[in-house]
Structure 1
């Protein structure tokens, strides 16, 4: 059991952190027995803990009467843990004196983490406030420059390692279903629904420029193959026939997506009201945010998508800042939401400090806006579905990979080869940490002038090379809710046996609710190791799916005779 001693105002952050690092814990109570005390205060130094982990970004957080002194104080720095760089967004202290260095400031010899051993007791000093870091990640988010780092997962892995390296058994419910490496959420923001709706407007003129001069420039820069140049020029020549209704609208690609994803399924986010750019858009070209279609133009298409097992969500316009408009936008699409979850992703990924509360009060149960327009990676530093602070029920599916971020000239502007390298890194992180990999591929990205369809198919094949559960956004949110609802009733672990009991709703986690949540047990006597991720401990673990049973007793001697 972990006891947590934190500031009173940090309680919601602590609670959410331990939904992500789902292991037995409670707020510190004097007189209770804890294997591990996690604190940013010094009030209980005399009590008996196997391991005490002290996080602190201010000098007052540490008792310096241990032959240890504060060396430096940084603001926004990187620390190195076993070759992994972790960004620290708040204050960072470095130490000098007694103890074994376990964290160092990037590129130097200054020590930001110390391990002190006294008899059978261990004390870890870390020069930052963990819960301030978690708050920043889940509210503000990482700058684009650090997008490639799953920072929150690194914090979890570091803490897990500190516990298991101290020889302390650990029970955890990982953020992936039993039998799978990770989850993949495929999604599509429908912004245009056809070029036929755009005649002599900026969208049409932009297409003509990019398909002609832009394609030629891409060939000269060796970023576009000649065969795609030819396809784009053919599309230009075909455009009059599209407008005349004599040729298929090549920007209408929903049927193609359902063909590609017939075995995986995805979520389509649809615009609720056409010709509305929305309010409070802080960009000079805000008028271009308005679309020429809305859900009323897609009634039959939306029904067929739902019948085939795909999901419909709201591609919000003003839902992010107006409760009244949020309710109106939800009502436009609610008839197509057959499941318990009703989701939204805001057009242009607009969010402010009040957005989550507004979306929740309007009736949405999940959002998938928290990501980058101009990068791929981890804005929240996490692969996990999380509950935004100051909400009660709404969950956030973080966005990780967006097509336009990869390929647009004013964004990452990558070749397909380099783009795949970036995506492979995120796939490997998902394989290591579990959680969900969320992908956004826009409606017209399969078509001229983008022609990113082959890349998308290759990306899916790369993902399918792992043990992956593909699911709609709503199904993924429901699974993470089931995981969140599991509570540890009793955990007893010694050197010979393990007794576990859980509390959860059988009907929601029982035999009929695959894929199952599972529990992972780390114990020095277990000999299975994780070779994929150097941040995971090598003491070994075993996994037990929760299939309706609420108590387990494991004889460790029988496992390792």
Structure 2
């Protein structure tokens, strides 16, 4: 690739005047784009031309673990399907529990599983980011009231994991709405939040970055693929975006999303294929001293029909731990990149 091609890919020039958008007004990538996304050509170019990256304790690469908290109460469809899967395994108690938790109270929801997720990660010396919704408007249903789970927020924060904002479906292009959602989360949490990812990965280049910078966020991690996995702009490193319209760098760090559970399994024919594709991206990132960002939704860890997804997550943690990766949250990546790189 020529230097201009590298620059156009890095800035995602073609997204400024998109020819096609999907039903959620997201940029619609071509098949060629998706095939090429497995190679971080911009990061490779930068490393070749002298960029050096260091991580704490001489780790050679980093894994940024994230969880979008779309639901804290299972939709009826989830409860029914999990109950059926439990019955298939002759787990009668599990089947009943999936259906009857509401009778015991909202606090017994299987999707209030943040401690469970943190315990899994702690076994590998890892931390992660949880992105919570505070928007009231949603195309499917009211998700939850953040004030109802202040105790859970406190536990997550006290243990040293990150809480960020999962921006509402209708908020990605509205500074006013994002500010309101941020303030609501901060009021419930009792501290500032710096991390962001938008619901449904709705994002407009470069406008979303400008809005998030104006709203006071330190970093975003929306910038990835909804229908596949890989490197959206050829980067396997965090970066400050550049606005081609203003000719200026935007004052926010992007920690690009590389692998989302839903997209990975939707485009893999088996558990083994999903693992091999994931391992390949991890190995490529490690070879370039990069950062690979994973998104596993919280419901996966308490969902009978997504056990393979949870199993793959632990397999990834085990593999990356063995490769001596720095496995941590978006907030810690952001602070290290801001202060140490």
How far is the alpha carbon of 1:376 from its aligned partner?
1.8
User: By percentage of residues, which structure has more strand?
Assistant: 1
Q: Which runs of 5+ in 2 are unaligned?
A: 17-26, 244-248
Number of residue pairs matched by the alignment: 314
Q: Which runs of 5+ in 1 are unaligned?
A: 1-87, 89-125, 161-170, 196-202, 216-226, 278-286, 485-561
Q: Does 1:151 align with 2:41?
A: yes
Structure 2 CA distance for aligned equivalents of residues 323 and 127 of structure 1? 34
Q: Residues 242-281 of structure 1 correspond to what in structure 2 (within 5 A)?
A: 242-245=101-104, 248-262=108-122, 263-274=125-136, 276-277=137-138
Q: Which of these two proteins has the greater Rg computed from alpha carbons? A: 1
Structure 1 CA distance for aligned equivalents of residues 95 and 274 of structure 2? 27
Report what 1:547 is aligned to.
Answer: none
Corresponding residue SS for 2:326: strand
CA separation of 1:234 and 1:450: change in aligned 2, threshold 3 A = farther
Cα RMSD for the two superposed structures? 2.8
Structure 2 CA distance for aligned equivalents of residues 211 and 155 of structure 1? 50
Structure 1 CA distance for aligned equivalents of residues 13 and 96 of structure 2? 48
Q: Does 1:434 align with 2:292?
A: no
Report what 1:374 is aligned to.
Answer: 227
Q: Does 1:296 align with 2:155?
A: no
CA separation of 1:186 and 1:228: change in aligned 2, threshold 3 A = farther
Report what 1:522 is aligned to.
Answer: none
How far is the alpha carbon of 1:438 from its aligned partner?
0.8
Q: Is the 8 A contact 1:401 1:440 kept in 2?
A: yes
Structure 2 CA distance for aligned equivalents of residues 127 and 377 of structure 1? 21
Structure 2 CA distance for aligned equivalents of residues 337 and 187 of structure 1? 21
Corresponding residue SS for 2:305: coil
Structure 1 CA distance for aligned equivalents of residues 103 and 201 of structure 2? 35
Corresponding residue SS for 1:450: helix
Corresponding residue SS for 1:315: strand
Q: Residues 538-557 of structure 1 correspond to what in structure 2 (within 5 A)?
A: none
Report what 1:54 is aligned to.
Answer: none
User: By percentage of residues, which structure has more helix?
Assistant: 2
Structure 2 CA distance for aligned equivalents of residues 433 and 306 of structure 1? 31
TM-score, length of structure 1 as denominator length: 0.51
Corresponding residue SS for 1:244: helix
Match of 1:385 among 238, 244, 249: 238
Report what 1:38 is aligned to.
Answer: none
Report what 1:135 is aligned to.
Answer: 11
Report what 1:556 is aligned to.
Answer: none
How far is the alpha carbon of 1:240 from its aligned partner?
3.7
Corresponding residue SS for 2:10: helix
TM-score, length of structure 2 as denominator length: 0.82
Structure 2 CA distance for aligned equivalents of residues 303 and 404 of structure 1? 28
Q: Does 1:194 align with 2:70?
A: no
Q: Is the 8 A contact 1:175 1:384 kept in 2?
A: no
Report what 1:520 is aligned to.
Answer: none
